[in-house]
A and B are shown apart, each in its own frame.
Chain A
């Protein structure tokens, strides 16, 4: 319980503060990666769809309250992204980590869905489908950041 829920939750809170305070400095023309999303996607890949979605849902609530205009938009977007990422869950997480193509595909797909739904829900504009290009760019930037994390030496997961 501590390893699967409490510690990840505390890590997510730390990443949330980093996301809001530090990450805006590395935005490129308004395109910003989301390190909280990276963590949630790795969590889903490690523990599966159900746990991933529940974790993403509660982290999304706190993300919305701490940072956003619309409470509910982050909840929706994180849960959806975790569901998609959790689809590629394998019992042996080390196999997932070694398959870089799968990781890139999962991250790009989930992150695009996240940014698109987050933008659409948060918008009062009629031209909602114009956010798709922005979503792809943000997803690419997030995936790039995720791959940097991937290259950090780590232990084998049980």
Chain B
């Protein structure tokens, strides 16, 4: 009996080991939201980030003048985008001209140190962290538009989940026609799915983050409508978005120092519970 078992084990040991290791991997996949796992990840990416920063230092960096101009560009981009929206809402807002709005944008400049370019898991490391007042949930932009969101922060570095990550979903709006939708990455392109075919959407329409988003502040540019494809039913369409930012090539970014309001979230929760 022992000899038979030994013989069988000898023949299948590779398959058995493969099976065991793959099962362990799948089990680990289910533990991704465990706080201890997240803590270990923070330490790990911080270590890699140190090497990445050294590499970036050796290969050269931009002058302070260029960094200042980039920051100015990004602030102007946000201002211009706001002006776009005011143009659409002008008639309605005339009565509300006296309302106050804060227009000081706190932007924290950062450099991308390392990139995990994957078809579905776009994750970058940047050289700012807790000591620079960066927090989880802050959007990351360039002077052209949205890049992603901060998902993990250590003292000196942060992880960004980019637009090319299938776990990032953005509540967005097309300001021209007030069409709301959720922008997501499907592995090949940014897309808003299941929009009614009769919705007023044209190629070239701007897409920005929506006020309904509890993750992103409103009016951050996302992209332009590139294509509209009708589903087989004919009732719904998928809209392809061409992002303003070339995410793969991005090097210098800004962390938008704004996080979701707990007060608003609590109100929404209260409404839902009624």
Contact = CB atoms under 8 A, between A and B. Distances in A.
A124 interface: yes
For chain B, the bracket of interface size reads: 35 or more
A32 to B, nearest CB: 5
Interface string B1-31: 0000000000001100110011011111111
B113 interface: yes
Given A80-B22, A122-B121, A125-B120, A67 B114 contact: yes
Contacts of B204: none
B67 interface: no
Contact of B29 (A30, A62, A73, A134): A73
Contacts of A127: 186-188
Contacts of B117: 24, 27, 30, 32
Contacts, number: 148
Interface string A14-28: 001100111010010
Given A20-B115, A27-B117, A119-B119, A69 B25 contact: no
A66 B44 contact: yes
B133 to A, nearest CB: 24
Contact of A68 (B13, B26, B113, B118): B118
A22 B119 CA distance: 18
Interface stretch (B45-53, B68-76, B175-183): B45-53
Given A121-B29, A122-B166, A125-B166, A69 B121 contact: yes
B88 interface: no
Interface in B55-69: 55
B83 interface: no
B120 to A, nearest CB: 4
Interface in A1-43: 16-17, 20-22, 24, 27, 29-30, 32
A62 B113 CA distance: 18
B167 A124 contact: yes
Interface residues of A, number: 46
B91 interface: no
Contacts of A134: 119, 187-188
Contacts of B113: 21
Contacts of A73: 25, 29, 121
Contacts of A75: 21, 24-25, 28
Contacts of A119: 118-120, 187
Contacts of A24: 114-115, 117, 248
Given A83-B18, A119-B187, A71 B37 contact: yes
Interface string A56-80: 0100111001111111110110011
B17 A53 contact: yes
B228 interface: no
A72 B121 CA distance: 13
B40 interface: yes
B48 A17 contact: yes
The 8 closest A-B CB pairs, nearest first, are A72-B29, A65-B44, A72-B28, A76-B25, A123-B120, A122-B121, A75-B25, A24-B115
Interface of A: 16-17, 20-22, 24, 27, 29-30, 32, 49-50, 53-54, 57, 60-62, 65-73, 75-76, 79-80, 83, 86, 115, 118-119, 121-125, 127-128, 130-131, 134
25 contacts: A17-B52, A20-B116, A21-B52, A32-B117, A32-B118, A53-B14, A65-B41, A66-B47, A69-B121, A69-B161, A70-B32, A71-B28, A71-B29, A72-B25, A72-B27, A75-B21, A79-B22, A79-B25, A123-B119, A124-B167, A125-B186, A127-B186, A127-B188, A130-B186, A134-B187
